[in-house]
Chains A and B, each alone.
Chain A
Amino acid sequence: MAERYSSFRSGSTAWLLQRITAAFLVVVLAFHFFNLHFVTHAANIEFAGSQARMQNVGYFVTMVLFLVTATFHGVNGIYNALVNQGIEGNAKRAAQVVLGVAGLLLVVQGIRVAIALAGF
């Protein structure tokens, strides 16, 4: 870092999004656990019930947002943990690609499942 910085690259957007998604996830995770673990116990969760819940548009939208924010938060968190460890060059590029592709796949497949469940 001793050398002069040649280009402007801001980490502020990712940092801000990490915090915003964190705030969103705290609320939605609480709702998720309350709804699907404490009120309806895990043993009583059935496919038909999931299908019924997903047909509610508000619930559907919340779950898709949950998926997108959780994926971003997780993938960005892992990437930053790796950068904190000081990875550079090819290793850093590989981390970006692998985590990016994994995140994208997760979101795409998650939305496909959500649509299938809701029957849209």
Chain B
Amino acid sequence: MSTQTPDTETESEAEQPSSKPHHERRLAEKRERAETKEAERAAAAQEIKGETVELKVFRFDPEIEGKEEPRFDSFTIPFEKGMTVLDALIYARDQYDSSLTFRHSCRQAVCGSDAFFINGRQQLGCQTQMADLDWPVRVEPLPHQDVVKDLVVEMDHFYDQMEAVDPFFDPDDLPEGELEEQRQSPENRENIKLSTRCIWCGACMSSCNIAAGDNKYLGPAAINKAYRFYMDEREGEQKRQERLEIIEQEHGVWRCQTQFSCTNVCPKDIPLTEHIQELKREAVKQNLKFW
């Protein structure tokens, strides 16, 4: 079960060749202790009262000998009502193998750290109930991203794409008074409401077939971010134009083939594909305008 490399006794091998019996005795004792510990742990696993669920977790660490080959480890987790996949992973890490690595923070679907590939679908670990899944539950890192270790994937490319659409306000004019708010109409707020929910978890990008093949494609999250600012009435005209030019590049909105996989997996239920389509329409309209 454990993926830690087995403890090896290296301390006194070369130092004291004369004390061989002593050395052997120590090794035997150590082995015995390890066996007892292992047996205790196995017994503890069997002793779990009530329902248990098997958690199969992807393991990989290029820096650790014995973990260079990707594999799945199985953990027996005591099931409790309301248990999420993240809870199960935390249990596995705390009780069985402290080297099990995954990102998590808020545990309430706000921070966007724990998007995993759970039973073949991109989902947030903290938002997914074990009870809703087919058992055994298989947890893998997000596909189409480089795996750093276990369930941790490289997010740099995703963040680069997010930043490529200039995700910030650049209004033409600010309100007079220093403490004056930048007002937005309720209707406009409704328009962009769903797009503001993005938590940068990367599930959409990971599920997108096109983003998998074309690394230059902005991806659903970045285009949604562009939508959030483009559609906001408070945005400045200059910036709106600049952002439109970014998203209507060849590898911008046009690469979307409306497969809706991003919309399907979004943990915040953002209608990503619709937002991309709206921006395509917007780009066409702006380019057709000759007056």
Contact = CB atoms under 8 A, between A and B. Distances in A.
Interface of A: 1-2, 5, 8-16, 80, 83-86
Contacts of B255: 83-84
* 4 A-B pairs with the lowest CB-CB distances in the bound complex, closest first: A2-B160, A86-B214, A11-B254, A1-B216
A11 B244 CA distance: 12
Interface residues on B, range: 20 to 34
Given A9-B250, A11-B249, A80-B254, 10 more contacts: A1-B164, A2-B161, A8-B245, A10-B248, A10-B283, A15-B280, A83-B214, A83-B251, A85-B213, A86-B216
Contacts of A8: 245
Nearest to A14: B254
B289 to A, nearest CB: 11
A84 B210 CA distance: 6
A65 B192 CA distance: 41
Q: Is the interface of B mostly helix, strand, loop or mixed?
A: helix
Interface in B225-247: 245-246
B226 to A, nearest CB: 12
18 contacts: A1-B160, A1-B164, A1-B216, A1-B249, A2-B164, A10-B248, A11-B254, A12-B280, A12-B283, A12-B284, A15-B280, A16-B284, A16-B288, A83-B214, A84-B217, A85-B213, A86-B213, A86-B214
Interface centre among A2, A12, A13 (most CB of B within 10 A): A12
Interface of B: 157, 160-161, 163-164, 209-210, 213-218, 245-246, 248-252, 254-255, 257, 280, 283-284, 287-288
B246 A5 contact: yes
Contacts of B245: 5, 8
Contacts of B288: 16
Nearest to A84: B210
B254 A15 contact: yes
Nearest to A16: B284
Contact of B287 (A5, A10, A85): A10
A15 B157 CA distance: 26
Contact of A84 (B160, B163, B213, B284): B213
Contact of A1 (B251, B254, B257, B283): B251
Contacts of A83: 214, 250-251, 255
Contact of B157 (A2, A12, A80): A2
A12 B248 contact: yes
Nearest to A18: B254
Contact of A13 (B210, B214, B287): B287
A8 B247 CA distance: 10
B248 A11 contact: yes
A84 B216 CA distance: 10
Contacts of B209: 84
A12 to B, nearest CB: 5
A12 B286 CA distance: 10
B214 A12 contact: no
B249 to A, nearest CB: 6
A11 B245 CA distance: 10
Nearest to A86: B214
B290 to A, nearest CB: 13
Interface centre among B209, B251, B254 (most CB of A within 10 A): B254
